[in-house]
Chains A and B, each alone.
Chain A
Amino acid sequence: MKWLWFAIKNVLRNRRRSLVTILIAAVGTTGILVGGGFALFTYTSLAEMAARDSGHLILAQRDYFKHDEDTPMQYGLDNYAALRDQIELDPRVRMALPRVQFSGLISNGDKSSIFIGAGIEPEAEFSVKGSTMRLISGGLLSPKTPSGSTPEIVLGSELAKQMKAAPGSGLTLLSTTTAGTLNALDVTVRGIVTVGVPEIDKRLVYVTLPTAQHLLLTDKASTLSVYLRETEQTEEMRGVVAALFPDHALQTWRDQAFFYAAVRELYNRIFGLLGMVIVIMVLFAVTNTLGMAVVERTREIGTLRSLGTLPAQIVRIFALEGLVLGIAGVGTGMLAAAGISVFLLFANVQMPPPPGRSEGYPLHVDFSWELYALTLVAILTLSIAAAWIVSRKAAAKPIVEALGHV
């Protein structure tokens, strides 16, 4: 405790220099925590988006992910209802949703375009999509098509523009059936949505599951998307579901989220590099401050050594000074970063749309105990290491030489 008190007094000896060092460490810490927190927020958002889109787990027929289908639904699930009942028995499962993936041409009579469609159970499907899909006009699909009326369709905004379609417009879907023949179906536009990615909005079509099955002449589903109550349970549940259905293929949202993996890889590198630059900056700042202190106090070091202080104890004095500077810097930086996180929660600052997307997103900085702890340990370790580097030579200097230092 006495050593620490001595270190604090020494840090206060040159207040302006210490303050500058503490500010550099604080700014560095804030930079790491805000940058890291933003990256974590991005990962969480992308993970949520990916999981909402595909489901946490995707169960399919054994060859579904391995081979391209020669005809639609060649590798479809014919017993999806039974699989679904079994999976939904697990309390960790929120719901399991069958989907029919299909593609073809969509036409307004004058003009045709390629679409990529999904046959879904509207109520459940749109509830899990949440904020990742925004309704622009009209409404979402009705659970059941009233008898005698044409089936409903929800279009991506860009595709609606191409088709000059609005809610209520009539369109025709043309697709290949499971028998390899062409089938056409007249549909009415119920609503127009966007998922924030123009390239997807250009092709997106949602119909009800029975409509898709009717178009493809099948009673199968392409996949069964399993939604869990907690994303963190994905790996655990992967094992459970794989054991339940060993004859089926299973993927997680991570396996299908190529964008998530790419962004994570990119951000890890960007923020890793940024963190390294900041850490080096802090190391230089602390080294510079303590280096000057060591030179100025060489005579004092000689005095302390003559009084019986061991070289290791001299190094300890400077290491504690490094620690004090580090704690003050990291503490200030943490408070600033936490303040920024809270401010952004309420400030509603919007980020511009990322490349390939049409919509921005709120700027948030996630709080992570792990990130805070890691930053604390890294900055403190560096501060102590800097002190050790600059003081060990002076501590080992011959006492007479140190006492004669001017």
Chain B
Amino acid sequence: MKAAANQLIHLDQVSKTYLMGAARVPALREVTLSIEAGEFTALTGPSGSGKSTLLNVCGLIDQPDAGSISIDGRATGQLSQKELTLIRREKIGFIFQGFNLVPVMTAFENVEYPLFLAGNAATDRRERVREVLSRVGLSELAQRRPDELSGGQRQRVAIARALVKQPRLVVADEPTANLDSATATQIIDLMHELGRSNGTTFLIATHDARVTSRCDRSIVLTDGVLQ
């Protein structure tokens, strides 16, 4: 199937099965899905429906057993681990439910890390990190370590880390699950605002109706099948 011009991700008949002891548990069953560039997509479904697996294969941190995935028009099936790593480094940002910040790094260093990996010069890194931290409202807390920040502030740092390299895709797994209601709303607004201004595509697995309501599109996964 030929990718449309503004299509960022295309999944074609993607299946993934996990082995749980002797039992085979299908997580994705022949999922075919296209997401447009700049689209804000919510991925919903009950627990165990395969949302995280779908995010993982879209984020290229897991590979399907069958089917194909292409990102930005590039098929990923035959790529080596190193090539997949470099695509993630360049084009994909991650926001995790548990924030997954590096505890020994300050907020500034956590956000700087993807730029450092990409080989950006120190002055460029400094400018971009300052800018993105200012946009998430954490300029004053840049030198704090994650354990010195609240849950909402940590998730802001995670969002800044995901967006600092201006990726084509941000994959977010339950980004508001560990946050109180007011903070969750702020985080959704923030992702929306930053995503829109950068033209970044968001794929967000969520149970949160507030998130779903702010997305362009909502897709539902049940027992590994796209509804």
- Where the two chains meet, the residues of A that have a C-beta atom closer than 8 Å to any C-beta of B are 2, 6, 9-10, 12-13, 299-300, 303-311, 313, 398-400, 403
Cα–Cα, bound, A306→B113 (Å): 12
- A13 touching B104, Cβ below 8 Å: yes
Tell me if B88 counts as interface (CB < 8 A to partner A): yes
Question: Which residues in B have some Cβ–Cβ distance to A below 8 Å?
Answer: 56, 59, 61-62, 81-82, 85-86, 88-90, 94, 96, 100, 102-105, 113-114, 116-118, 161
Contacts of B105 in A (CB 8 A): 6, 9
Closest to B173 in A: A403
A6 vs B118: C-alpha distance in the bound complex, in angstroms? 16
Known: A307-B89, A310-B82. A400 touches B62 (CB 8 A): yes
Assess the B104–A6 pair: CB atoms within 8 A: yes
Since A308-B89, A398-B62, A403-B100 are in contact, a sample of 7 more A-B pairs with Cβ atoms closer than 8 Å, ordered by chain A residue number, is A2-B116, A9-B104, A300-B103, A303-B94, A307-B114, A308-B90, A399-B61
Q: Does the CB pair B100–A308 fall under 8 Å?
A: no
Q: How many inter-chain residue pairs (CB < 8 Å) link A and B?
A: 57
In the complex, are the beta carbons of B94 and A306 less than 8 A apart?
Answer: yes
Cβ–Cβ < 8 Å partners of B88 in chain A: 306-308
Pairs A-B, 6 closest by C-beta atoms: A308-B89, A9-B104, A399-B61, A303-B100, A308-B88, A400-B62
Q: With A6-B105, A10-B104, A400-B56 in contact, do A308 and B116 touch (Cβ < 8 Å)?
A: no
| Nearest B residue (CB) for A310 | B85
Compute how far the CA of A60 lies from the CA of B18 in the bound complex, rounded to whole angstroms: 87
Please, which residues of chain B bring their CB within 8 A of the CB of A10? 104
Q: Which of B56, B61, B90, B102 contacts A305 (CB 8 A)?
A: B61
CB atoms of A309 and B103 under 8 A apart: no
Given A399-B62, A400-B56, are A307 and B104 neighbors across the interface (CB < 8 Å)? no
Contact of B86 among A300, A304, A308, A403 (CB under 8 A): A308
**A-side contacts of B100, CB under 8 Å:** 299-300, 303, 403
Q: Please tell me which one of the listed residues A9, A306, A311 contacts residue B61 in the complex, with CB atoms under 8 A apart.
A: A306
Looking at A13, A300, A306, A313, which has the most chain B CB atoms within 10 Å of its CB?
Answer: A306
Cβ–Cβ < 8 Å partners of A300 in chain B: 100, 102-103
Residues of B within 8 A of A2 (CB): 116
Q: Which residues of A contact B59 (CB under 8 A)?
A: 306
- Enumerate chain A residues within 8 angstroms of B118, measured Cβ to Cβ: 308
* Complex Cα–Cα for A311 and B88 (A): 14
Instruction: Give the Cβ gap from A301 to chain B, nearest Cβ, in Å.
Output: 10
- Give bound CA distance, A2 to B108, whole Å: 13
What is the bound-complex CA distance between A21 and B96, given in angstroms?
34
Residues of A within 8 A of B82 (CB): 310
Which residues on B sit within 8 Å (CB–CB) of A305? 61, 85
Q: A273 to nearest B CB, angstroms?
A: 40
- Chain A nearest CB, measured from B106 CB (Å): 10
Task: Name the residue in A6, A13, A403 with the highest tally of chain B Cβ atoms < 10 Å from its Cβ.
Answer: A403
- Rounded to whole angstroms, the CA-CA distance of A10 and B113 in the bound complex is 15
- 27 A-B pairs within 8 Å (CB atoms) are namely A2-B116, A6-B104, A9-B104, A9-B105, A12-B104, A300-B100, A300-B103, A303-B96, A303-B100, A303-B102, A305-B61, A306-B59, A306-B88, A306-B94, A307-B89, A307-B94, A307-B161, A308-B86, A308-B89, A308-B90, A308-B118, A309-B89, A399-B62, A400-B56, A400-B61, A403-B61, A403-B96
Assembled-state Cα–Cα distance A6/B161 (Å): 17
Q: Point out the residues of chain A lying under 8 angstroms from B104, CB to CB.
A: 6, 9-10, 12-13
B189 to chain A, nearest CB (A): 24
Which residue of A is nearest B90, CB measured?
A308
Q: How far is the CA of A12 from the CA of B103 in the complex (A)?
A: 12
Residues on the A chain within 8 Å of B161, using CB: 307
Alpha-carbon distance A304/B101, docked complex (angstroms): 9
Nearest chain B residue, comparing its CB with the CB of A398:
B62
Of chain B, the residue at the smallest CB distance from A400 is B62
Separation of A10 and B105 alpha carbons in the complex (Å): 9
B56 (CB) vs chain A CBs: closest residue: A400
- Please name all residues of chain A whose beta carbon is closer than 8 Å to the beta carbon of B85 when the two chains form the complex: 305, 308-310
CA distance A403 to B173 in the complex (A): 12
Q: Most chain-B CB neighbours within 10 Å: which of A299, A308, A309, A313?
A: A308
A307 touches B113 (CB 8 A): yes
Assembled-state Cα–Cα distance A311/B80 (Å): 13
Q: In whole angstroms, how far apart are the Cα atoms of A10 and B145 in the complex? A: 13
Contact B102 A304 (CB under 8 A): yes
User: What are the residues of chain A within 8 A of B94 when measuring CB–CB?
Assistant: 303, 306-307
Who on chain A is nearest to B62 by CB?
A400
User: For the complex, what is the distance from the CA of A303 to the CA of B56, rounded to whole Å?
Assistant: 12
In the complex, which residues of chain B have a beta carbon less than 8 angstroms from the beta carbon of A9?
104-105
A308→B61 contact, CB < 8 A:
no
Cβ-closest chain A residue relative to B59: A306
